[in-house]
Structure 1
Amino acid sequence: MQFDARIDGKLIHCRITSDRDLKAPVFCFSCMAPVTVVEGGTRIAATGGYAEVALPDLLAGQPHDVTLRHENPEFAPANRAWLPLGAYLRTQDGPLDLPALPDGVRPERRDTVAADWPRVCPRPTRAVAAADHLIATSFAAPASEPLSAADDLAARVGLGPFLSKDGARLSVELDETLPPEAYRLTVTPEGAKLRHGDRAGALHGAVTLLTMARTHDGHIPCGEIEDAPRFGWRGQHLDCARHFYSVDTILRLLDLMALLKLNRFHWHFADDEAFRLALDSLPELAKTHFRGEDELIPGVFGGGIRSGGSYSRADVARVVARAAELGIEVMPEIEVPAHALALARVYPGTRDPEDTGTERSVQGYAANVMNPAMTESWRVWHAMVDEIAGLFPFDVIHLGCDELPDGTWQGSPAARRLMDDEGLDTTDDLQGWTINRLARRVAEHGKTPAAWEEAARGQTGIENGAILFSWTGQGPGLDAARAGYKVVMTPAQHVYLDMAHTADPEDWGANWAAFVALEDTVTWDPVPGDEPALADNIIGVQGTFWSEFTTRDDQIEAMLMPRLLGVATMAWQDRGSADPALLPRLAAAYQPILAAMGWQSA
């Protein structure tokens, strides 16, 4: 079988050459957004960007062309990620895989000199160089749990050993005058001294020393470093609903995060396409774990003939344990009330059977919102919150609450009655009422609710001390901070790492928010200079990765790196200290570390 596709303006040209005669096959594939057929076949089914196109009989060796375009006439394919993914032919003899198209980021060649001392990201708060070097790749130090954690990290990522009996002398001293996560590091030709105020500070100092031993090729420049983070929340999000990542991949990501002093992993395992976490209280969720041919959800977002998986309780425990060792908290996210296509199909009682609405989500899905007027919705939501609260020790649970389709519930008599009973006027009012009620359930477990920026809408918006995540830009986050919410900044224009690096059609990624080059990740400030008081409510910065076009785990690597250096910089360094021109040089300095990890970089 041969398969090729190319972009031509707003059109996608596909060519299929079969190695055998096929009678009336169906071309099945997924694009970034809903598509229609211009010529070469007839679309017979669609779910979001997934489409099935009936073809004429194919003769062996005779190419057949199909031309597609997006349903939205304003959409034009941006790059290769917008071509058909997970393509196959449904035939009388069963499904036949079509060859995958070339995928992933094509690394950009940059002849960049590595940064000057200290070659570590994020850059320390204060660094004073001194003459001479400490020649060392490992260190001899008294027994210490955080140093042992750093040694284990070094061994896993190929940078070890960090600790050895024959290494350079390293003394470690507790200094309770230092703020949380802070450390002081002094390097002389005779050895190094690390002072820390808590476990996190000791681990951060060890990571800095480990990093410099590798980025300076065993010749660590002498000097003094004083360091502490600007924000307590320094995160990275991973969408495991659109693509199922192995636990080992998640653990590798946690290791990379620790090397960059990131301390929050946002585990997005629930969305339209799947609810990946296996819950004892809701065994029917297993129906969502795989998608593709004859599954509940077809091969949307490159799912192909069959793909997916789920995370068990043991998997959760493994991820949480590794994260704890690295000083990282794991925040789970469920999606309420939208982004629930699979859930609504598993639990049809969460939809009003009399609903006449025709709303569609931005991904092109119909009927992807659960209805708060239905008792079944609350049974499912409460069961999720109750069980997840016991699985994750972190005191924050994210409830989703983004991208509610326009007109949702307006065609539902049950929802209209609920709105009348509660004195609610708009869809936003009903969503706010819903998310606030569920947030109370979270609070009953002693947890803090979190949600995307839309949860602030409506008559009251979410309460219960909720944390909001600002994603469409900084504006909604600033508004939320002014209103008294705690806010994590994750603006798509700067830290959505699923965005393509460039406008080159040979690149890879989304582009609805922006093309995000390495330097773009630091050309902003989470707190406006003219509103310094908002610093009390803006508690962090977080990178985000959505997996709409990811079909293999390794495709995330060059999307995240080196741009994750920019996320770490904005989350740690003081205002005004981020230098866009320095990032490429830091990226060059980190190449030996990434090479040791086997982590691809753009």
Structure 2
Amino acid sequence: MKFDARIDGTAIRCTITSDRALTAPVFCFSCMAPMVVIDGGTRVHSLGGYTEIALPDLAPGRPHTLTIAHENPDYAPANRAWLTLGPYLRTAEGPLPLPALPAGVRRSGKAWGGTLPVLRLCPQPRDASLTGETLACRGIDNTAEPIAAADALARRCGMPPLIQPGGVPLRLEDAPDLAPEAHDLIIAPDGITLRHADRAGAFYGAVTLLTLIHTHDGQLPCGTISDAPRFQWRGQHLDCARHFYSVDTILRLLDLMALLKLNRFHWHFADDEAFRLELDSLPELSATHYRGEGELIPGVFGGGIRSGGSYSRADADRVVAHARALNIEVMPEIEVPAHALALARVFPDTRDPLENGAEVSVQGYPANVMNPAQPESWRVWEAMADEVAEIFPFSVLHLGCDELPHGTWGGSPAARKLMEAEGLDGTDDLQGWTMNRLASRLVDMGKTPAAWEEAARGKQGIGNDAILFSWTGQGPGIAAARDGYKVVMTPGQHHYLDMAHTGDPDDWGASWAAIIGLEDTINWDPVPADEPELEANIIGVQGTFWSEFTTRDTEMEPMLAPRILGVATMGWQAKGTASAEMLRGLATCYDSLWKTLGWAAAEG
């Protein structure tokens, strides 16, 4: 079987060459968004970007060409990620896979250039007073627990051990005057002193040493390095609902985060397509773990004939334990009330049977919202929240609440009755009421609720001292901070790492928010210059990676690296200290680190 697809203006031209005679095959595939057929076949079924096209009989060795385009005429394929994913033919003899197109970021062979900083370290420290001398150091002689954790990190990453008997002596010194996570490193010709106020500060000091040994080839610059983070929340998000990542891949990502002093992992395991965490209270969720032929959800977002998986309680425990050793907390996310296509199919009573609305999500999914007027919705939401809160020890649980389709619940008699009873005027009010009620339940359990920016909408909003994540831009986050919410900035224009690096059609990635080059990750500031007081409520930044076009774990790696250096820079470094020239220099410097880690990275 042969298959090819290419961008042809605003359309996509596909060529299928069968190696056998096939009668009335159906071409199945997915794209970024809903598609229509221009010629070469007839669309017979679709769900979002997943499409089935009836083809004429195929003769062996004779190419058949068809042309498809986005249903929305404003959409046009931007690069190779917009081509067909997970292609196969449904035939009388069963599904036949078609060869996958080359996927992922291609190597450019270009260097990042830039200027190397004196300390080849990302993020850059708050202050460094160097003497010009160096200390030969390939390892240190100290086995305290935080140092041992950094040593274990080094070994997992393929780096030489940090702890070496007979190595440079390291003295740990308690320094209660330092802030949380802060540390001072005094590097002298006769040894090293690491001052810290807490375990995190000691660990990050060891990570700094580990990195400098690598980037300075064992010749540590002498002097005093004083460091502390700007923000308490320095996160990275991973969408494991659209693509199932192995636990080992997640652990590798946590290791990378630790090397860059990122301390929050946003585990997005629930979305329209799947709820991947196994819950004893809702065993029916197992029906969402796989998608494809004969499954609840067909092969959307590159699912192909069959793909998926789930995370057990043991898997979650393993991720949490690994993260905590690296000073990383794991924030789980469940999706309320939208992004619930699979959930609503598993639990049909979460939808009003008398509803006559025709809402469609931005992904092209109909009926992907659970109805707060249905008792079954609350049974499911509360069971999810209760068990997920019990599994994850971190104090923060993310409740979702993004991209509610326009017109949701407008055709539901039950929802209209609830709104009348509660004095609510429309969709935003009902969503805010829903989020407030579920957030209150989390507070009663001792948890802090979190949600996407939309949760602040409506008369009531989520309230309950929730943390809001601002993703469509900085504006909603700034408004929420003014209203007293704690806010994490993850603007799509700067930190959505699923966006393409360039506008080249041969590149890879989404483009709805922006084209994000390396410098774009730092060409902004989370806090408005004319409202510095908002820094009290803007508690951090986060990188985000959505997996709509990811079919293999490794495709994620060069989308993150080296742009994750910019995320780390914005989370840690003092305001106004980020430099595009220096960031490019660090990307050049860290190229050897990516190779040591075995982590694929994009090139300049």
Q: TM-score range by the shorter chain?
A: over 0.9
1:128 aligns with 2:129: yes
Q: Aligned residue for 2:93?
A: 93
Overall identity of the aligned pairs, in %: 68
Query: What is the distance in 1 between the residues matched to 2:26 and 2:167?
Result: 64
Secondary structure (helix, strand or coil) at the match of 1:300 reads coil
How much does 1:166 deviate?
2.5
Q: What's the offset of the Cα at 1:353?
A: 0.6
Structure 1 residues 342 and 334, CA, compared in 2 at 3 Å: closer, same or farther?
Answer: same
Alpha-carbon distance between aligned partners in 1 of 2:379 and 2:448, rounded to the nearest angstrom: 21
1:78-128 CA-to-partner distances (Å, cap 9, x unmatched) read 000000000000010000110010110123312626623211100000012
Superposition pairs for residues 163-562 of structure 1, below 5 Å?
A: 163-562=163-562
Q: Which amino acid aligns with 1:121?
A: C
CA distance in 2, matches of 1:599, 1:284: 36
Partner of 2:81: 81
Partner of 2:118: 117
Q: What CA distance in whole angstroms lies between the structure 1 residues aligned with 2:531 and 2:113? A: 37
Secondary structure at 1:442 match in 2:
helix
Distance 1:114 1:218 in 2: 21
- Give the superposition deviation at 1:220: 1.6
Query: Residue 460 of structure 1: CA displacement?
Result: 1.5
> What residue in structure 2 maps to residue 573 of structure 1?
573
| SS of equivalent residue, structure 1 residue 478 | helix
CA distance in 1, matches of 2:368, 2:543: 26
**Which amino acid in structure 2 is aligned with residue 237 of structure 1?**
H
Q: 8 Å contact 2:234–2:572 — kept in the other structure? A: yes
Q: In the aligned structure 2, how far is the partner of 1:230 from the partner of 1:585?
A: 22
Displacement of 1:487 in angstroms is 0.3
Q: Is the 8 A contact 2:373 2:418 kept in 1?
A: yes
Q: Distance in 1 between matches of 2:135 and 2:588?
A: 22
Which secondary structure state, in structure 2, belongs to the residue aligned with residue 336 of structure 1? coil
CA distance in 2, matches of 1:397, 1:571: 21
Cα distance in 1 for partners of 2:373, 2:431 equals 11
Contact 1:41–1:55 (CA<8 Å) still a contact in 2?
yes
Give the deviation of 1:358 after TM superposition.
0.6
Retained in 2: the 8 A contact 1:522–1:580?
yes
Q: Using the alignment, how far apart are the partners of 2:159 and 2:196 within structure 1?
A: 23
**What is the CA–CA distance in structure 1 between the aligned matches of 2:524 and 2:486, rounded to whole Å?**
19
182-191 vs 64-73, which deviates more? 182-191
Any idea what SS the aligned residue of 2:158 has? coil
- In structure 2, stretches of 5+ residues that fail to align are none
Q: CA deviation at 1:187?
A: 1.4
Whether the 8 Å contact between 1:107 and 1:558 is mirrored in structure 2 is no
- Kept in 2: contact 1:194–1:202 (CA 8 A): yes
Equivalent residue for 1:156? 156
Note the alpha carbon deviations across 1:532-586, whole angstroms, 9 max, x for none.
Answer: 1101100000000000000000000000000000000000011100101111110
- In the alignment, what sits opposite 1:12? 12
Change in 2 beyond 3 A, CA 1:111/1:459: closer
Measured against aligned partners, the alpha-carbon deviations of 1:433-488 in whole angstroms (never above 9, x if no partner) come to: 00110101111110000000000000121111100000000000000000000000
Q: What is the rounded CA distance, in whole Å, between the counterparts of 1:160 and 1:203 in structure 2?
A: 17
**In structure 2, distance between residues paired with 1:569 and 1:123:** 7
CA RMSD of aligned residues (A): 0.8
Alpha-carbon distance, 1:136 to partner: 1.3
CA distance in 2, matches of 1:51, 1:475: 36
SS in 2 for 1:534: helix
Quote how far apart the aligned CAs of 1:167 are. 1.5
Letter in 2 for 1:396: V
Is residue 527–residue 534 contact of structure 1 (8 Å, CA) maintained in 2?
A: yes
Unaligned runs of 5+ in 1: none
Greater mean alpha carbon deviation, residues 585-594 or residues 464-473: 585-594
On the 8 A contact 2:234/2:571 being kept in 1, the answer is: yes
SS in 1 for 2:574: coil
Q: CA deviation at 1:129?
A: 1.9
3-state SS of the aligned residue for 1:119? coil
Matched residue, 2:591: 591
Q: Which amino acid aligns with 2:584?
A: P
Counterpart of 2:303 in structure 1: which amino acid?
G
TM-score (norm 1): 0.99
CA distance in 1, matches of 2:329, 2:116: 31
Give the match for residue 67 of structure 2.
67
CA distance in 2, matches of 1:261, 1:10: 42
- The correspondence of residues 34-45 of structure 1 with structure 2, limited to 5 A, is 34-45=34-45
Q: Answer whether contact 1:519 1:583 (CA < 8 A) is retained.
A: yes
